[in-house]
Amino acid sequence: NGPTIPRSEWDERIRDMEKAQSRISDICDAMGVKIKNQFSSSYCWVFATTTCAEIIRAVQQQATVELSPASVGAKIKNFRDEGGWGTQSLRYGVEQGWVPTLLWPDAAIDRRYDTPQANAERRKYQVDEWYELESNNFDQVATCLLIGLPVSIGLSWWRHQVVASDLVKLDGSGNYGVRIRNSWGLQYGTNGQAILTERKATPDDACVPR
Protein backbone atom coordinates (compact mmCIF):
# COMPACT_ATOMS: atom_id res chain seq x y z
CA ASN A 1 0.00 0.00 0.00
CA GLY A 2 3.03 2.29 0.06
CA PRO A 3 3.84 4.83 -2.66
CA THR A 4 5.75 3.76 -5.76
CA ILE A 5 8.92 5.51 -6.85
CA PRO A 6 8.06 7.97 -9.68
CA ARG A 7 9.34 7.03 -13.12
CA SER A 8 11.07 10.40 -13.31
CA GLU A 9 13.51 9.10 -10.66
CA TRP A 10 14.21 5.71 -12.18
CA ASP A 11 17.13 6.65 -14.45
CA GLU A 12 19.09 8.35 -11.68
CA ARG A 13 18.44 5.55 -9.21
CA ILE A 14 19.52 2.92 -11.74
CA ARG A 15 22.76 4.85 -12.40
CA ASP A 16 23.44 5.25 -8.68
CA MET A 17 22.95 1.53 -8.03
CA GLU A 18 25.17 0.58 -10.96
CA LYS A 19 27.90 2.95 -9.75
CA ALA A 20 27.71 1.68 -6.17
CA GLN A 21 27.40 -1.95 -7.33
CA SER A 22 24.38 -2.24 -5.07
CA ARG A 23 22.04 -3.91 -7.54
CA ILE A 24 20.61 -7.24 -6.47
CA SER A 25 22.65 -9.00 -9.16
CA ASP A 26 25.83 -7.38 -7.77
CA ILE A 27 24.99 -8.56 -4.26
CA CYS A 28 24.24 -12.08 -5.50
CA ASP A 29 27.62 -12.22 -7.22
CA ALA A 30 29.43 -10.91 -4.15
CA MET A 31 27.65 -13.24 -1.72
CA GLY A 32 27.67 -16.33 -3.93
CA VAL A 33 23.92 -16.76 -4.44
CA LYS A 34 23.72 -19.47 -7.07
CA ILE A 35 21.39 -19.99 -10.02
CA LYS A 36 19.09 -22.91 -9.28
CA ASN A 37 17.87 -25.70 -11.55
CA GLN A 38 14.39 -27.19 -11.24
CA PHE A 39 15.23 -29.83 -13.89
CA SER A 40 12.02 -31.51 -15.08
CA SER A 41 9.89 -30.55 -12.07
CA SER A 42 6.88 -28.21 -12.17
CA TYR A 43 8.16 -26.26 -9.15
CA CYS A 44 9.14 -22.95 -10.80
CA TRP A 45 6.64 -21.24 -8.45
CA VAL A 46 8.61 -22.32 -5.40
CA PHE A 47 12.08 -22.10 -6.97
CA ALA A 48 11.47 -18.39 -7.61
CA THR A 49 10.37 -17.55 -4.07
CA THR A 50 13.12 -19.69 -2.56
CA THR A 51 15.70 -17.78 -4.59
CA CYS A 52 14.14 -14.54 -3.33
CA ALA A 53 14.55 -15.78 0.25
CA GLU A 54 18.22 -16.58 -0.40
CA ILE A 55 18.71 -13.12 -1.93
CA ILE A 56 17.10 -11.35 1.03
CA ARG A 57 19.57 -13.10 3.33
CA ALA A 58 22.39 -11.87 1.10
CA VAL A 59 21.03 -8.30 1.06
CA GLN A 60 20.94 -8.40 4.87
CA GLN A 61 24.56 -9.65 4.92
CA GLN A 62 23.59 -12.97 6.51
CA ALA A 63 25.64 -16.09 5.82
CA THR A 64 24.92 -17.61 2.43
CA VAL A 65 22.86 -20.78 2.86
CA GLU A 66 21.32 -22.64 -0.06
CA LEU A 67 17.66 -23.39 0.64
CA SER A 68 15.66 -26.24 -0.85
CA PRO A 69 12.61 -25.36 -2.97
CA ALA A 70 11.44 -28.98 -2.82
CA SER A 71 11.38 -28.81 0.98
CA VAL A 72 8.51 -26.34 0.61
CA GLY A 73 6.82 -27.40 -2.63
CA ALA A 74 6.69 -31.09 -1.78
CA LYS A 75 5.09 -30.39 1.59
CA ILE A 76 2.46 -28.10 0.04
CA LYS A 77 1.61 -30.56 -2.74
CA ASN A 78 1.84 -33.73 -0.63
CA PHE A 79 4.88 -34.87 -2.61
CA ARG A 80 3.21 -34.49 -6.00
CA ASP A 81 4.95 -32.75 -8.90
CA GLU A 82 2.39 -30.02 -9.57
CA GLY A 83 2.31 -26.34 -10.46
CA GLY A 84 1.31 -23.66 -7.97
CA TRP A 85 1.54 -19.99 -7.04
CA GLY A 86 4.41 -17.99 -5.64
CA THR A 87 2.28 -16.73 -2.77
CA GLN A 88 1.58 -20.34 -1.73
CA SER A 89 5.25 -21.09 -1.34
CA LEU A 90 6.05 -17.79 0.35
CA ARG A 91 3.27 -18.25 2.90
CA TYR A 92 4.71 -21.66 3.74
CA GLY A 93 8.14 -20.06 4.10
CA VAL A 94 6.62 -17.56 6.53
CA GLU A 95 4.79 -20.18 8.58
CA GLN A 96 7.24 -23.11 8.46
CA GLY A 97 10.50 -22.07 6.76
CA TRP A 98 12.89 -23.82 4.36
CA VAL A 99 15.22 -26.78 4.83
CA PRO A 100 18.83 -26.17 3.71
CA THR A 101 19.82 -27.90 0.47
CA LEU A 102 22.43 -29.91 2.37
CA LEU A 103 19.59 -31.78 4.09
CA TRP A 104 17.03 -31.77 1.25
CA PRO A 105 18.27 -31.47 -2.39
CA ASP A 106 16.73 -28.62 -4.35
CA ALA A 107 14.57 -30.68 -6.74
CA ALA A 108 14.02 -33.83 -4.64
CA ILE A 109 10.27 -34.49 -4.36
CA ASP A 110 11.02 -37.38 -2.03
CA ARG A 111 9.64 -38.28 1.39
CA ARG A 112 13.00 -39.67 2.47
CA TYR A 113 14.21 -36.13 3.09
CA ASP A 114 11.22 -35.19 5.26
CA THR A 115 13.04 -36.06 8.47
CA PRO A 116 12.82 -34.67 12.02
CA GLN A 117 16.32 -33.24 11.62
CA ALA A 118 15.38 -31.45 8.38
CA ASN A 119 12.18 -30.04 9.80
CA ALA A 120 13.97 -28.83 12.94
CA GLU A 121 16.18 -26.72 10.68
CA ARG A 122 13.21 -24.99 9.04
CA ARG A 123 12.70 -22.59 11.93
CA LYS A 124 16.11 -21.07 11.26
CA TYR A 125 15.08 -20.06 7.76
CA GLN A 126 11.71 -18.34 7.93
CA VAL A 127 10.55 -15.10 6.34
CA ASP A 128 8.80 -12.80 8.80
CA GLU A 129 7.69 -9.95 6.51
CA TRP A 130 6.48 -9.97 2.92
CA TYR A 131 4.47 -8.11 0.31
CA GLU A 132 1.93 -9.36 -2.21
CA LEU A 133 2.00 -6.93 -5.15
CA GLU A 134 -0.89 -5.90 -7.36
CA SER A 135 -1.43 -7.85 -10.54
CA ASN A 136 -0.20 -6.09 -13.72
CA ASN A 137 1.59 -3.37 -11.76
CA PHE A 138 5.09 -2.96 -13.18
CA ASP A 139 5.73 0.21 -11.16
CA GLN A 140 5.39 -1.75 -7.91
CA VAL A 141 7.91 -4.31 -9.18
CA ALA A 142 10.29 -1.52 -10.18
CA THR A 143 9.96 0.17 -6.80
CA CYS A 144 10.85 -3.03 -4.95
CA LEU A 145 13.90 -3.58 -7.15
CA LEU A 146 15.07 0.00 -6.63
CA ILE A 147 15.01 -0.47 -2.84
CA GLY A 148 16.81 -3.80 -3.03
CA LEU A 149 13.94 -6.27 -2.74
CA PRO A 150 13.79 -9.19 -5.23
CA VAL A 151 10.37 -10.02 -6.68
CA SER A 152 8.98 -13.45 -7.53
CA ILE A 153 6.92 -12.79 -10.68
CA GLY A 154 4.38 -15.13 -12.25
CA LEU A 155 3.98 -14.68 -16.01
CA SER A 156 0.90 -16.22 -17.62
CA TRP A 157 2.22 -15.76 -21.17
CA TRP A 158 5.17 -18.00 -20.23
CA ARG A 159 3.31 -20.19 -17.71
CA HIS A 160 6.38 -19.73 -15.56
CA GLN A 161 7.64 -18.01 -12.39
CA VAL A 162 11.03 -16.29 -12.19
CA VAL A 163 12.88 -13.79 -10.01
CA ALA A 164 13.04 -10.13 -11.04
CA SER A 165 16.38 -8.91 -9.71
CA ASP A 166 17.24 -5.54 -11.31
CA LEU A 167 15.38 -2.73 -13.04
CA VAL A 168 17.22 -1.86 -16.26
CA LYS A 169 17.05 0.92 -18.83
CA LEU A 170 16.85 -0.58 -22.31
CA ASP A 171 19.57 0.94 -24.49
CA GLY A 172 18.48 3.71 -26.82
CA SER A 173 14.77 3.08 -26.37
CA GLY A 174 13.73 5.17 -23.39
CA ASN A 175 11.99 2.02 -22.12
CA TYR A 176 12.58 -0.22 -19.13
CA GLY A 177 12.84 -3.90 -18.41
CA VAL A 178 14.04 -6.24 -15.69
CA ARG A 179 16.90 -8.65 -15.31
CA ILE A 180 15.58 -12.06 -14.29
CA ARG A 181 17.13 -15.06 -12.58
CA ASN A 182 15.59 -18.24 -13.95
CA SER A 183 15.59 -21.76 -12.46
CA TRP A 184 16.78 -23.64 -15.53
CA GLY A 185 20.46 -23.76 -14.62
CA LEU A 186 23.38 -21.79 -16.00
CA GLN A 187 22.65 -22.85 -19.59
CA TYR A 188 19.65 -20.50 -19.76
CA GLY A 189 20.35 -17.02 -21.15
CA THR A 190 23.61 -15.60 -19.86
CA ASN A 191 24.66 -17.69 -16.88
CA GLY A 192 21.04 -18.33 -15.97
CA GLN A 193 19.90 -14.73 -16.39
CA ALA A 194 18.16 -12.67 -19.08
CA ILE A 195 16.43 -9.32 -19.70
CA LEU A 196 12.67 -9.06 -20.17
CA THR A 197 10.96 -5.93 -21.48
CA GLU A 198 8.40 -4.17 -19.31
CA ARG A 199 5.57 -5.74 -21.28
CA LYS A 200 6.96 -9.23 -20.81
CA ALA A 201 7.92 -8.66 -17.15
CA THR A 202 4.64 -7.15 -15.97
CA PRO A 203 3.42 -9.91 -13.63
CA ASP A 204 0.10 -11.60 -13.28
CA ASP A 205 1.06 -12.33 -9.68
CA ALA A 206 4.03 -11.19 -7.64
CA CYS A 207 5.30 -11.49 -4.08
CA VAL A 208 8.30 -10.16 -2.20
CA PRO A 209 9.97 -11.48 0.96
CA ARG A 210 11.36 -8.80 3.25
List, for residues 134-192, the tens digit of each pLDDT value. 999 999 999 999 999 999 999 999 999 999 999 999 987 789 999 999 999 999 999 99
Whether 1 shows a pLDDT value over 70: the answer reads: no
Q: With beta carbons less than 8 A apart as the criterion, state whether 181 and 35 touch.
A: yes
Q: What is the pTM of this model?
A: 0.96
Which DSSP string corresponds to 63-96? PP--B-SHHHHHHHTTT------HHHHHHHHHHT
Q: Could you give the dihedral angle defined by the CA atoms of residues 193, 57, 78 and 42, in that order, rounded to the nearest 10 degrees?
A: 0
pLDDT of 2 reads: 75
Give the closest residue to 69 by CA, choosing from 31, 25, 39.
39
